Amino acid sequence: MKRYKSFLLSLMFPAMIHAQDGPRPYGALPSERQLRWHEMETYCLIHFTPTTFQNKEWGFGDADPAIFNPQQFDAKQIATAAAAGGFKGLISVAKHHDGFCLWPTATTDYSIASSPYKKGKGDMVKEFMEASHEQGLKFGVYLSAWDRNDVRYGTPAYAEAYREQLTELMTQYGALFTSWHDGANGGDGYYGGRNEKRTIDRTTYYAWHEKTWPIVRAKQPMAMIFSDVGPDMRWVGNEHGFADETSWATFTPKGIDGKPAVPGQADYSESPSGTRNGTHWIPAECDVPHRAGWFYHADQDANVKTPDQLFEIYLKSVGRGGNMNLGLAPMPDGYLHKNDVKSLAAFGEKVSKTFADNLAKDATIVASNVRANSEKFAAKWILDNDRYSYYASDDNVLTPELEVTLRGEKEFDIIQLRENIKLGQRIDSVVIQVNDRGTWQNLASATSIGANRLIKLKTPVKASKLKLKIYAPVAPTLSELGLYKEFTEPFSYDEAAAVKTALSAKEFRVKSKNRLVKAFDGRAGTFESITAFSDGVVFELDQPITALAYLPRQDGNKEGLVLNYEIAGSSDGKKWETIKAGEFSNIQANPVEQAIHFEPAFRFKFLRFTPKETVGKSFSVAAFTLFK
């Protein structure tokens, strides 16, 4: 009899052990470096090059290095402000599209070594790195593949020089958390004085997979490689900082016309949303400038994003499973404006105080099913503030429910959920209900939980009991539940920039055949689109103006956006004199209002704005504004 019982136990014991095993991983999984990246959640990107001194968004590559001489450069002030905002890392734009290198590279003379800064002995990448580490921040670098200064651009020699630059950055600045590669590459530029447009085959020129990214893997194995299409994190597809309401960390990069997906040439239709059951774990990075643009412009001093605006971005980036990358723009003297500093500090305080106290921390949770009835997978683990301990159901239970009883009635307006992403992104959706006098009422729902899901309620609610109804194709692995109340307080800037006064409709007239009525209706959501625009838009003025602003269409469509323009003046509307020409840099990714400033003031009777190059075959405009 004893032998028979022992025999039965010998058969049952392996089955019991197997039942207590964790669920098998599902789908594409994050690497160790991606896990560390998810834990960071927020970091900053610093744009500071000769472009800052030119008051542009993209430098043409023709700036004299002599202009790059910040008198009060203070990397510590910038890093301290970022740390006060709760950000966990800094990325130095070591070289932007203008080609100017912030470190003394051996690959080109167009660098900080040719500037008067520290008599040519400076190294700003190093200064940013040291300041970051002093503040406990991780450090990374951005290296533009496009170089509008280098005469070699477009030839194999430049591609090799680019890889040499990347090697320098990967080997001279300690451990890096990211190597950041922009999608903008190829176009018009200075190119050593050639002043021409150069195009490349983006799918082959940089040899991203074959030669370039392997440098990062070899020299900085824990550095996340960013580009439009990964391989470690993807561009979210906009520069508002918002991921889609449903945004999967899994993603299948797609090329165009059968070619491979590469930075600057890919199908971006799923960039904001990701791909459910995609082939790779490539979560979204949501990059957004603190101001309207990435570089400093004095006329944007009053338009720095407020703490509440930053918090909305946080909820729609970090709160949708991605990371938030905020662009900081130092002034020409080399430090952040006081408005930027105040905004960062208040944002840091807002996030800290909002998430300081999990109102669900003392709750009692009853699950409809617990995997193998094992404490190892009990519902209590979703309240232990550990993103990798988790609740799980049995493999055949795909719609478990968790009933949460709070310690008394709590008021909250943010619900936080996480999955243990080490086992993949498993949950399809969640429905949250509250008990109202004995009846369960739907409160909120969400899809794509992933590394972090923050559900913001329209108004705060009070409740003592909640129910989570989980839906998944495999056993879910929920790791955290949090209930929070958004911290709010009044905020204002200490220094407001001088506001330009717009001309009224009575102070100018549109003299073109197409009067562009919708461009002056006061509504940003409407726009005009015309196909015949070679004669430009002519304004008759009653007084001098100091600026003209062009607002591109705001519906997300790029057709007709102005890339290059020309401004001409005339006293009689017949004989015209070109006053200035320029480009609206980065307008396709960041379609904000574009300002053209006149110094001295524009004093002609007639002004003609001519789009010289647009996206597609038309010209579109949401609004024109003329300023006194």
What would the pLDDT profile of 383-415 be if each residue is shown by its tens digit? Answer: 999 999 999 999 999 999 999 999 999 999 999
CA angle 189, 153, 286 (to 5 degrees): 75
Q: What is the C-alpha separation between 589 and 611, in angstroms, rounded?
A: 19
Q: How far is CA 463 from CA 364, 397, 437, 459, in A?
A: 14, 28, 10, 13
Helix residue ranges, H only, 93-149: 124-134
**Same fold across 40-352 and 505-627:** no
Contact 235, 271 (CB under 8 A): yes
Kindly state the average pLDDT of the residues 247-267: 96
Q: How far apart are the first and last CA of the chain?
A: 102
DSSP class of residue 385? Answer: S
Contact 74, 334 (CB under 8 A): yes
3-state helix, strand and coil shares in percent for the chain, rounded to the nearest 5: 25, 30, 45
Question: What is the per-residue pLDDT for 497?
Answer: 61
Q: What is the C-alpha separation between 141 and 174, in angstroms, rounded?
A: 11
Closest alpha carbon to 300 in 549, 49, 554, 602: 549
Kindly state the average pLDDT of the residues 507-525: 91
Q: What is the C-alpha separation between 585 and 55, in angstroms, rounded?
A: 12
Question: What is the per-residue pLDDT for 513?
Answer: 82
Q: What is the C-alpha separation between 335 and 329, in angstroms, rounded?
A: 8
The band of 239, judged by pLDDT with boundaries at 50, 70 and 90, is very high
Look at residue 484 and give its three-state secondary structure: strand
- Is the bond leading into 600 cis (omega within 30 degrees of zero)? yes
Kindly state the average pLDDT of the residues 455-480: 98
Q: What is the C-alpha separation between 585 and 599, in angstroms, rounded?
A: 20
Beta strand extents in 81-164 (DSSP E only):
89-95, 138-143
Taking the domain 505-627, which CATH number applies?
2.60.120.260
How do beta strands 196-198 and 89-95 pair? unpaired
**More confidently predicted of 478 and 532:** 478
CA 356 to chain centre: 25
Question: What is the per-residue pLDDT for 500?
Answer: 78
Q: Count, in order, helices (H) and strands (E) of the chain.
A: 9, 29
**Number of C-alpha atoms within 13 angstroms, CB side, residue 336?**
27
Helix (H) or strand (E) holding 158: helix 156-172
Q: What is the C-alpha separation between 179 and 232, in angstroms, rounded?
A: 10
Q: Which two structure tokens, joined as six digits, stand for 111?
A: 């660098």
Does residue 352 carry a pLDDT above 70?
A: yes
Kindly state the average pLDDT of the residues 414-432: 98
Q: What is the C-alpha separation between 239 and 100, in angstroms, rounded?
A: 24
Q: How far is CA 620 from CA 26, 521, 554, 555, 560, in A?
A: 46, 15, 10, 11, 5
Q: Does domain 40-352 have CATH number 3.20.20.80?
A: yes
How do beta strands 439-447 and 429-436 pair? antiparallel
Angle 338-354/307-317 helices, nearest 10 degrees? Answer: 50
Compute and round to an integer the Cα radius of gyration of the chain.
28
pTM, to two decimals? 0.91
Question: What is the per-residue pLDDT for 4?
Answer: 47
Contact 327, 44 (CB under 8 A): yes
Q: What is the C-alpha separation between 304 and 336, in angstroms, rounded?
A: 11
Enumerate the domain spans of the chain: 40-352, 364-484, 505-627
Question: What is the per-residue pLDDT for 551?
Answer: 96
Q: Which two structure tokens, joined as six digits, stand for 298?
A: 């004095």
Of the candidate ranges 89-103, 423-437, 580-594, the one whose mean pLDDT is the lowest:
580-594
CA angle 319, 323, 328 (to 5 degrees): 120
Mark 217-253 as b/e (b = at least 16 C-beta within 10 Å). eeebeebbbbbbbbbbbbbbbbbbbbbbebbbbbbbb
Look at residue 268 and give its three-state secondary structure: coil
| pLDDT tens string 357-380 | 999 999 999 999 999 999 999 999
Beta strand extents in 320-428 (DSSP E only):
323-328, 364-367, 391-392, 401-419
Q: Which two structure tokens, joined as six digits, stand for 625?
A: 């504004």
Question: What is the per-residue pLDDT for 396?
Answer: 97
Q: Regarding the domain delimited by 364-484, which CATH topology (the fold level of the hierarchy) does it fall under?
A: Jelly Rolls (2.60.120)
Q: What is the C-alpha separation between 246 and 335, in angstroms, rounded?
A: 38
User: Which neighbouring-strand residues pair with 461?
Assistant: 412
Q: Among residues of the chain, what percentage have pLDDT more than 70?
A: 96
- Is the bond leading into 231 cis (omega within 30 degrees of zero)? yes
Total count of residues recorded for the chain:
628
| pLDDT tens string 78-89 | 999 999 999 999
Average pLDDT, the chain: 95
